[in-house]
Structure 1
Amino acid sequence: MLVRLQSAIGRDDLVEQMVLIPEPKRSSLTNSQTSNAINLIVGYNASPNSHTALDIAFWIAHQTRLATNQQVVVQAVYVVEQNQSEKSLDKVNWADYLTSCECGVSNMYQSATSVLTQPKIKGISQSLQAQTVTHLEQADKILWQARSLAEEWQGSFKSHLRFGNVATELAKVVKLEAADVLLLGCKSINHKMIQALGFNFPCAILGIPNGIDE
């Protein structure tokens, strides 16, 4: 995938710069190897670097679809950190309110709404403190930005809203979705997020290369 991306943008150093944690050795065929779909997970928080990582993921997905006709699903994960959320979050049955959005972008606005719609927020606001509702509204806006970028690329997209430790929740989604690659807005293996995820990660971890916007 990175070789195709290198060819598309005229770079020859992406593998060296972007592969922060290499793909683990596999002793047998995994779900990702036997499945028709390729899953690219992106840690997204609307920061410039995470936005670049998401853009690169859609770029990779586009190039892969052109070359192989394989389905590629880009999935954005936004984690509300534990110290940002209220204790009252634990008292809510989030399964009743939060759903993942998975659809082709061409049908996105017809068949799917925002992960957290205004009616849902109104429905739970009476049981949550005002600060908690603010966190949910902020999360809704952040994931909407990710879906807007997905619309530009005309690709398949899925979003996740999680609560807790960022590294822990990213790892959970990677395992749940049998991800092929995790993309982060990091430029070095020394980044604290890479250190938190550890070096025995179940899939390759890619960062963003220097000078990608030049």
Structure 2
Amino acid sequence: MKIKPLLARLQSTIGRNDLIEQMVLIPEPQKSITKRVKEANSINLIVGYDASPNSHTALDIAFCIAHQTHLATNTQVTVQAVYVIENKLNHGYSSNFSLFADQPLLECPSSNINHSNTLLAEQPKLQDLARYLSSTSTALFHQADKILWQAKSLAEEWQGSFKSHLRWGNVGTEFRKIVESEAADILFLGCQSIHHPLIHMLGHHFPCAVVGIPSCINE
């Protein structure tokens, strides 16, 4: 799918002629490499959403483009918001998983106690760790539910077709997976530059065009 007509309609609505140059951060690939064959006469727009102002702007732009495209072409356009709970283990700071490496499981050196005592010493700390991880996970999923609810509320304002996804892991990897599985035409992000760290996380040969938000919105 050619994305320029979609952005051209947005340019016309806003009264700008420089949005395509500002917004296209990664051009669409010469040949689609998405694994899933999508329905004919349909467009899928994926939005990386975390409730930040910039991601909210990206979602709003996606709904605007979806609305304009449906009116102009009668094409079914689905907007999908994706929130990734990031596994920060490999990013140099604390995460839920790193707690296992930090927790001492034995009260005294193992050479001074037998196997049964070791289990008794480990059990309270493992229980405490399990309770901590459980409460942390509950808080993370509660936050994710609130974030995706905000995206759904915006979808209701636009009265457009909408889906939401909650993923866990590396942000760049999860975006690539969802783009491929949903045969997405565009990934919208709340970025204004190709130098944004998130763009680098997407890696090379991304399977669809990546569109950010125009810098002119801050003018």
> 2:70 corresponds to which residue?
65
Secondary structure (helix, strand or coil) at the match of 2:66 reads helix
Match of 2:193 in 1: 188
**How many equivalent residue pairs?**
177
Deviation at 1:31, TM superposition (A): 3.4
> Residue 53 in 1 paired to residue 54 in 2?
no
Q: Which residue of 74, 77, 100 maps to 2:82?
A: 77
1:140 paired with 2:145, answer: yes
Q: Distance in 2 between matches of 1:2 and 1:76?
A: 19
1:145-164 to 2 correspondence within 5 Å? 145-164=150-169
Partner of residue 201, structure 1? 206
C-alpha distance in structure 2 between counterparts of 1:198 and 1:164, whole Å:
15
Secondary structure in structure 2 of the residue aligned to 1:55 = helix
Q: Deviations over 1:81-114 (max 9, x none)?
A: 1138644xxxxxxxxxxxxxxxxxxxxxxxxxxx
Distance 2:196 2:143 in 1: 25
- 1:99 is matched with none
Q: Rg: which structure is higher?
A: 2
> 1:130/1:17 Cα in 2 relative to 1: closer, same or farther (>3 Å)?
same
> Which residue is equivalent to 2:175?
170
Q: Distance in 2 between matches of 1:140 and 1:28?
A: 31
Aligned-partner SS, 1:212: helix
Secondary structure, aligned partner of 1:202:
coil
Deviation at 1:26, TM superposition (A): 1.8
**Contact 1:76 1:160 (8 Å CA) reproduced:** yes
Would you say the 8 A contact 1:21–1:199 is kept in 2? no
Q: Secondary structure at the match of 1:79?
A: strand
Relative to structure 1, the CA distance from residue 55 to residue 85 in structure 2 (aligned partners, 3 Å threshold; closer, same or farther) is farther
Large movers: runs of 4+ above 2 Å: 27-32, 83-87, 211-214
Distance 1:161 1:147 in 2: 13
Distance verdict in 2 for CA 1:152–1:25, change over 3 Å: same
CA shift in 2, pair 1:212/1:31, >3 Å:
farther
Give yes or no for contact 1:39–1:181 (8 Å, CA) kept in 2: yes
Distance change in 2, residues 1:35/1:13 (3 Å): same
- Which amino acid in structure 1 is aligned with residue 141 of structure 2? L
Q: Which runs of 5+ in 2 are unaligned?
A: 1-5, 89-93, 98-130
| Counterpart among 14, 19, 44 of residue 24 in structure 2 | 19
The one-letter amino acid of 1:17's match is Q
RMSD over equivalenced CA pairs, Å:
2.4
| Deviation per residue, 1:174-207 (Å, 9 max, x gap) | 0000000000000000111111112411100000
Distance in 2 of aligned mates of 1:18 and 1:183: 9
- Provide the secondary structure at the position in 1 that maps to 2:184: coil
Q: Match of 2:102?
A: none
